[in-house]
Amino acid sequence: MTSLLQRLWFRRLLWTLITLITLWVLLAVVLSWTGQRRWLRLKAELDAEGETLDLLKLLPPPIAEAQNFAAIEPLNGIRIAPGDSPAAKAAQAKRDAIKQSCEFLNHDRVNKAFTSEALRKAQSPDLSQIITALREQKHLSLPPNADAKALRHALEQHLPMLTQLVETARNRSKVEFLPRWDAADLPENLFTVAVPHYANVQYLSRALRLHGLACLESGDPAAAVSDVIAILRLTEGALHEPFLIGHLVGITQLQTAAELTWRLMQKRVLTAEMIQTLQQGFQGLDIPASLLQASRGELACGADMGDFLEHNPSRASEYFSVINNDGQSRASAFESTLMLSIPTGFFTHMKTSLVQAEWEQLVRPNRDQGLKTALVVPDPLDVWVKSQNLLRRPDNLLARFAFPAMGQVKRSSALAENTRLQILIACALELHFLKHNSYPPKLDGLASTSVTAFDGTPMHYRRSADGRYRLWHSGPDGQDDDGALAAEKPQKKKDASPRSADYQGDWTWRYEPAK
């Protein structure tokens, strides 16, 4: 051993190793100390602002089961995550039953008939095309010369729960999917929480929309209005949950309800009582509040993920690896060992940077500005994400990967809120027409109705040549096109969505078909 120590190369290697270990220990101590200080300062700031990192504290108060729309048997428990417990298996059986009963909605021609044509082109879905497609696939029992009445009957026979949903929606105005999140077993990392019920919400909403169209075309607008209300109940349930995906599902469902509402108003078959029912239904939704709730949920989940990685560094590589088709992230033994060599304090810094970015770039802007800056291009958060230099600030690595594309989310939220506000104004205009047999020359003549758009600007309005009217917002491009629809404006990109920053045309509610 003495002869070995006398060798120069070995002494240099030993001192190098000792130096590296000493530097690593010093680095670990410094990172731990500075990371904890940053985290405690951020926590104090959030506490002073009245924010919480506890997801369960974001939940709304419990709803009595007798008042809860989602407490009825077809829906009760569908939120339970997949698993081996009897409750999980029962929930999966319910979800499977809904999915199988709604498979007929996946037909390409049925989907094509419902592609937001009402709001993009002011064109009603072709019910005869839908009936032909459904007869061909033979999921529904339809006679050769089936009409809207036959379709309604077939839907009610095939999906009896539609009638139950409609009847319950009349009597129960509050919604909360069960069991509540504070009564469930949450995963060790909230970013892996399962939300399997959202797929069923979308299936049922689409089925209700088709049922409503069949009711309307067969001469029963009151039943179609009830279908809209049932869709809005499902929408509200998704919007109330503190998850970004729940918010996105909710605003998608709102558009589904809006399409059926547009057709009801286009045909001008509504009584004052029906219109007031629609008013109350859409007034009960709060898109900006849902977006803020979802943003706070992202903040809580971000903090939870940071805590998880801080205490389980060997699993950090799972969050930066490719997700396999089975939905499971896997890390190699080498990656896990490599992550263990990183000082814990670095994960504390990453957690702090993620939560700080979500607070400053996501939650606080949504809290203070709502949707007023939803159409700012490029979105400030997207700019921030792209501007991060990971060589200079490696602690922003988690924030860079975890942030959602909020520019698209905010535009989608703004479009949904714009549609909701236009429906409320349209309801007031139709009530005015029933009373005066004409529409007012200006929106100022509408009593007790806000005529302000989501961004604080006045909603545009004019009476149209077809004896109806147009309501519009200038949309993502900021150009006032007098209520022009997408089909009437050259698009930078083919089939540009109204949610896209490249969309040309206004966000319009009108009954004149696109020219």
Instruction: Report the mean per-residue pLDDT for the chain.
Output: 87
Q: Which of 404, 429, 450 lies at the terminal end of a domain, its last residue?
A: 404
Shared domain check, 133 and 215: yes
Shared domain check, 83 and 19: no
Query: What CA–CA distance (Å, rounded) separates 369 from 380?
Result: 13
Query: What CA–CA distance (Å, rounded) separates 474 from 508?
Result: 8
Q: What is the pLDDT of residues 329-348, one digit of tens each?
A: 555 554 555 566 678 888 89
**Region label for 478, one of left (φ > 0), alpha (ψ between -120 and 50) or beta (otherwise):** left
Q: What is the pLDDT of residues 10-32, one digit of tens each?
A: 667 777 887 777 777 787 788 88
Q: Which of 388, 404, 420 lies at the terminal end of a domain, its last residue?
A: 404
Give me the torsion for CA of 247, 252, 254, 260, rounded to 10°.
Answer: -170
Question: 361-370 — which CB contacts under 8 Å span 24+ positions?
Answer: 361/403, 361/406, 362/295, 362/298, 362/299, 362/403, 362/406, 363/51, 363/292, 363/295, 363/296, 363/298, 363/299, 364/49, 366/288, 366/291, 366/292, 366/295, 367/292, 367/295, 370/288, 370/291, 370/292, 370/454
> According to the model, what pLDDT value does residue 496 have?
73
Residue 132 backbone dihedrals phi, psi, to 5 degrees: -60, -45
Shared domain check, 253 and 299: no
User: DSSP character for 6?
Assistant: T
User: Is position 422 within any domain?
Assistant: no
Closest-CA residue to 97 (of 70, 82, 78): 78
| Domain residue limits at 464 | 438-515
Model confidence at 505, pLDDT cuts 50, 70, 90, reads confident
CB contact at 8 A, 319 and 8? no
Shared domain check, 300 and 255: no
Query: What CA–CA distance (Å, rounded) separates 289 from 60?
Result: 12
User: Is position 311 within any domain?
Assistant: yes
Shared domain check, 308 and 248: no
Q: What is the pLDDT of residues 134-149, one digit of tens each?
A: 888 888 889 989 999 9
Secondary structure class of 135 (helix, strand, coil): helix
Q: Which two tokens stand for residue 148?
A: 């809207």
User: Is position 496 within any domain?
Assistant: yes
User: Is position 326 within any domain?
Assistant: no
User: Is position 246 within any domain?
Assistant: yes
**Residue indicated by tokens 């803020």:** 292
Shared domain check, 181 and 66: yes
Shared domain check, 150 and 44: no
User: Is position 425 within any domain?
Assistant: no
Whether pTM exceeds 0.75: yes
Shared domain check, 310 and 258: no
pLDDT above 80 (res 267): yes
Shared domain check, 213 and 89: yes
CB contact at 8 A, 469 and 429? yes
Shared domain check, 30 and 163: no
User: Is position 447 within any domain?
Assistant: yes
Give me the torsion for CA of 482, 483, 489, 494, rounded to 10°.
Answer: 150
Model confidence at 8, pLDDT cuts 50, 70, 90, reads low
**Residue indicated by tokens 């240099």:** 12
Query: What CA–CA distance (Å, rounded) separates 457 from 447?
Result: 19
First to last CA, the chain: 93
With 0-12 CB in 10 A as exposed, 13-18 as middle and 19+ as buried, what is 507? buried
> According to the model, what pLDDT value does residue 140 have?
87
The DSSP result for 397-459, as a single string, is HHHHHH---HHHHHHHHHHHHHHHHHHHHHHHHHHHHHHHSS--SSGGG-TT---B-TTSSBP
Shared domain check, 126 and 142: yes
Residue 508 backbone dihedrals phi, psi, to 5 degrees: -125, 140
Give the Å distances, CA to CA, from 290 to 51, 382, 475, 505: 16, 21, 21, 27
Shared domain check, 372 and 226: no
Count of the separate structural domains present in the chain: 3
Q: Which two tokens stand for residue 149?
A: 């009445």
> According to the model, what pLDDT value does residue 394 have?
85
User: Is position 424 within any domain?
Assistant: no
Q: What is the pLDDT of residues 414-444, one digit of tens each?
A: 999 999 999 999 999 999 999 999 999 999 8
